[in-house]
Chains A and B, each alone.
Chain A
């Protein structure tokens, strides 16, 4: 059997999603963003919603997300993606809107915007890629950095007295009555990638069904700034991040039924 017999359309079992562009990704080798981008492109393609989906990219490594998926995109200011998405979703209720944010963007500078968008129950999807560090600016401490973790601004490890505690923002989000589906996933093995894809598809369906804000955290690696090989970074994530950021669903349902509240009489 020769190579040309193997490279044959009849043998094709896996291909690039049509919605992924030909642009070469700028992400570091081993980075989780590329996998999450691919999952997003697959989900949007599978659901056939590319003509009504608007993505909002963050400030951070994923600022250029708009270069890679063939849909309309807006690039937001640092942390403001949930407000931008609110503006789109409120004035375009028939469209599907998602934000794609990192942990510095979502859990630090954009804390007010994410909490209030989720609390209002905006019908949108939030993809939250948490690698516990600022990637684009060169590996500084994030709100999600673990205690003792070495970063460019915690050269001797994160110290609670000086830097405060790691923020479990997804646990906070899950408490809010405006959220529908809140889950924590990862993409470090084929099985978790398949599981993450299911979660993202479910999140999009929840937004389309107007169930409120759906929120998917993807615990990720930043092998470059963690200063590890991609394989070692995956191991480090399982060993150190999963015990603190425990994978699994935190909330599965719909925003709180407004009828369950008794409004004050005027």
Chain B
């Protein structure tokens, strides 16, 4: 078993990046995630593993540094919070279009605009439906604990490299700022240039070797026929993700008559709400999507045949509820309960909403 520590979610992202053999982090300070870069700068991984850490002049620059490094076959990560992710949208679209692997962490805060520095889940649409221009998808992982902040860094990279697609860890100020015990991963060595050439030589732009043609990383294609083919290839990739990479967790669903659906920190609140409701004699279960894209449509469709209604609990005005409604169909009511602007709902409020919106109604 790995090293056991008590750490903040944001600190764990930094630690996990060093330990999984990251080649570089490029970022810009923004609350509530600045501890990611602060921890990295304090750890000085360039002395330990050779990992590069650079404070960029903006989120725009950070994401394009990620583009350059990722396009040379390197394993690179960035982090930001909601307004910063909006600035990165341009680069994320280019990275998806050029089919490059990387991990982007969004420690969400409340919006719109400058909003608040308190936690929120209002970037669900932005993360799962694209965010920038064009038809693209991110692999979106939603951790609900500090342990998962650790685990999803390497998982994100594995999926990103498997599909040559950006992966996002969509978390929020609650998980970023809270401390929990965490079992840290063992160190994975960084790849050598030879290993990068061997694994990614077919596309990585790290200098044209004598034994291969030159590689070109671009998202540009002036011929509409070829551009449509590029798009079809991307869509096939996303379909394959939907078939093979869905992750979710069920909690007390076996005998459930009602279902809560929640991700990330909301799912932690809902676990408690399930226990509270069951004490009152209401048979409730919880489904927690771990991958927000690809979305767990099938398990939700299956539970829609079992339960009388679903309540989707999010710290936003109702975003994931649309995907749950699509997956559940029209046979049962699917309602939403959410708080906004940085307010975190209490388990009691969730039970109350369940009673009012589904049971009493």
Where the two chains meet, the residues of A that have a C-beta atom closer than 8 Å to any C-beta of B are 50-54, 56, 63, 66, 70-77, 80, 83-92, 95, 112-113, 116
Contact = CB atoms under 8 A, between A and B. Distances in A.
30 contacts: A53-B207, A54-B72, A54-B205, A54-B207, A71-B214, A72-B214, A72-B215, A74-B218, A76-B64, A76-B67, A80-B60, A80-B90, A83-B67, A83-B68, A86-B56, A86-B65, A86-B68, A87-B26, A87-B64, A87-B69, A88-B68, A88-B69, A88-B72, A90-B65, A91-B69, A91-B76, A92-B69, A95-B207, A112-B57, A112-B58
B52 to A, nearest CB: 5
A179 B207 CA distance: 24
B220 A63 contact: yes
B301 interface: no
A248 B57 CA distance: 30
A90 B205 contact: no
Contacts of A91: 23-24, 52, 69, 72, 74, 76
Contact of A92 (B72, B214, B217): B72
Contacts of A85: 68
Nearest to B206: A92
B307 interface: no
B24 to A, nearest CB: 5
Interface residues of B, number: 39
Contacts of A86: 54, 56, 61, 65, 68
A83 B88 CA distance: 13
Interface string B90-130: 11001000100000000000000000000000000000000
Contact of B217 (A71, A74, A116): A74
Contacts of A50: 208
Overall SS of chain A's interface: mixed
B207 A84 contact: no
Interface string B35-66: 00000000000000000101011101110111
A77 B98 CA distance: 11
B66 A87 contact: yes
In the A-B complex, the 10 residue pairs with the closest CB atoms: A87-B68, A87-B65, A75-B218, A84-B68, A83-B64, A87-B69, A72-B205, A116-B57, A80-B64, A52-B207
Given A73-B215, A80-B67, A87-B67, 19 more contacts: A52-B207, A54-B206, A63-B220, A71-B208, A72-B216, A73-B205, A74-B68, A75-B98, A75-B216, A77-B94, A80-B90, A80-B91, A83-B62, A86-B56, A87-B64, A87-B65, A88-B68, A92-B74, A112-B60
